[in-house]
Amino acid sequence: MAVSLPATGHEVLRDPRTNKGTAFSSHERASLGLEGLLPPVPSTLEHQVARIYNELDNVESDLGRYLLLSDLQSRNETLFYAVLMSDPARFMPIVYTPTVGEACQKFDHIFRSARGLYLPITASGNIEQWLSHWPVDNVRFIVVTDGERILGLGDLGVGGMGIPIGKLALYTCCAGVPPELCLPITLDVGTENGELLEDPLYLGLRQRRTRGQDYMAFIDEFVLAVQKRWPGACIQWEDFANFNAVPILATYRDRICTYNDDIQGTAAVALAGLYAALRITKGKLTQQTFLFLGAGSAATGIAELIAQAMVPEGLDIKEARRRTILYDVGGLVTNARQDLTDFQKPFAIDHPPVASFARAVRQFRPTGIIGVSTVPHLFDQEVIEAMAAINERPIIFPYSNPTSRSECTAQEAYLWSDGRAVFASGSPFPPLDVEGRHFVPGQGNNVYIFPAMGMAILATQASRVTDSMFIVAAKAIAEQVRDEHLAMGLIYPPQSSILEASLHAAFRIAEHIYDLGLAGNDRPADIAASISSMAFKPVYGNAP
C-alpha cells in the first residue's frame, strides 16, 4: 500500500511508517532534505536488523527487550517487523505473552510514547469526535480492551493497552496484515485495582469501574462511532471480564464484523490442539470427554466450539455438550447450583457435588483436561497421575497464562505421566528430556488463530465472523502438524513457520467465507495467491 511521504527531512525521520533511518540512500537523502541529519554512509536493512540483534543481546531482561522493540516500533515500523519476522519464535514471547503481562503491570512506570487511542468514559457523547483524531482513514482492524481481565493478571486499567498493541503486532508479524490498517484502543471506564488508584504515576481515570447500563451505553456509542468512521473495520474484543465479554459478543456478533478472541480464538486454538492430539491418541472427537478446570467465558467458549465441531460428526448438540464437563471454584457445574450465569447453564449437568478436581477426574474418566482457571499448580501430581491411570495417552492442556498462572508445567505433566502426556500450554515452556525422551512442548497460543482470521477477513471483506469460521481455522492449523512434530510432542505447527501456517489458515477461512456468502467482494480464481499478494513484507519502498 502506497504511503505518501511528509515534506521535510525532520518529518520523514519522525514518521515510523516512512522512516528508513540509516537505510535512506544518498539519492533519497538529497531529494528529501536528509543530508546532515544522518551518519553519512547508508546501511542496508539487513545491517539494521543485525544492529538491533546486537542491541537485544546486550539487554539483560525480556522486559528490557520489550521496551527496546517498542521504541523501535515507534520510530521505524518496517525495521521493527523485519526484526520480528526474521525469527518469530524468538520474538513473539517478547512482544506478547508472557513478557507483555509484566509490561502491562508496569505500564504506568515504563510509559514511553503514545500508540493507539484511549477513550475514557468521561468522553461519553464525544467518541465520534475523538475517533476523528486518528489520522488513518482506512482502519480495518481494531483490537480493543477495557483492561479488566488482562491475561491471568486481573484488572490493570489503562495498563491493559499493551494487549491490543501486542495483538496487532502479531496480526502483521504472523499473517502479514498491513500495519497501517490496525488500531489499538483502550476503553477507560475506571479500575477496581486499589494499588493503581493510589499510585501517583497511574495514567488512567482515578475512579471505580462504571457498570450496568452506563457501561453498555458507552460500549454502544463506541461501536456506532467506529461503524461511522470506519464502516469496514472488524472489532476484536480483548480481555474483558466474562460478565461483560459474553453479552457484548452476543449483542454485536450478528450485526457487525466482530469477535472475541478470549472466547472464540481460545476455543479455536484449543480445538486445533485436540484435532492434532487425536492423531496421537487415535480416537474420534465424538468419543472424547473433556473436563475443564475453570468455567468462565474462555472455558464455555472452548466447550461450545468443541460441541459444535462434534455435531457434523454425528452427535446432537445436547449430547455433545454433555461431553464437556466444567469444574470451577464452586465445584462441579451442576443444575443444582444457584450461582451459574446464563452462559454456563447449557453445560450444567445433573450430578452430586464432587469434593475435588482429582476426584472428578476419577469419576468422569475424561480423555483430556483443559485448564483455564488462571490459578497455578492445580493440575497437581494427583490429577496428572489419575489422568495417566485412566488413559494411555492423557491429553493435558494447562492453557492459563502468563506462565506464572499455568495449571502445571510441561515437566510436571510429562514426569507425572511417565512421559505419556499429550501436552500443550497457554504460555511457552522450553524443550526438555523426560524418561529418556526429548519433548518440544506445544504452545496453544491464540496467535495461530487471530492473525489468520484477520487476513481472511481482509481478503474477503467479510461482513460477519461466525463460529464455523473458527472450526475451519482449527482444522487448518491442525492439518499442518506433521508426523515428526507429533513424535516429539509438538501438536501445533512450529512457531518458526507461523507466517506459512497463518496464510494457509487464512486461505481455508477465506474459502469458507465465500462459501457462506459473507464476502464483500468477488471470489478470486486463486484465493491463496490473492492472500499472499496482500501480505505485508518488511522491505523499504522507494522514496520519490
Strand 368-371 and strand 395-398: pairing? parallel
Q: How far apart are CA 423 and CA 420, in angstroms?
A: 9
Half-sphere exposure of 26 (CA within 13 A, CB side): 2
Catalytic residue among 20, 66, 81, 96: 96
Cβ atoms of 326 and 347 closer than 8 Å: yes
Residue 345 appears among annotated catalytic residues: no
Q: How far apart are CA 120 and CA 264, in angstroms?
A: 27
Per-residue CA distances from 488 to 349, 409, 483, 493, 494 (Å): 37, 17, 9, 12, 12
Q: What are phi and psi of 203, to 5 degrees?
A: -100, -5
Residue 327 appears among annotated catalytic residues: no
Catalytic residue among 20, 66, 81, 167: 167
Cβ atoms of 236 and 141 closer than 8 Å: yes
Long-range contacts of 313-316 (CB under 8 A, 24+ apart): 313/284, 313/285, 313/286, 314/286, 315/286
Written in H, E and C, the secondary structure of 371-425 is ECCCCCCCCCHHHHHHHHHHCCCCEEEECCCCHHHCCCCHHHHHHHCCCCCEEEE
Q: Which residues have C-beta within 8 Å of that of residue 303, sequence separation ≥ 6?
A: 290, 292, 321, 324, 326, 347
Q: How far apart are CA 371 and CA 1, in angstroms?
A: 42
Task: Catalogue the E-assigned strands of 67-181.
Answer: 117-120, 141-145
Taking alpha carbons only, the member of 390, 391, 426 closest to residue 409 is: 426
Catalytically active residues are 96, 167
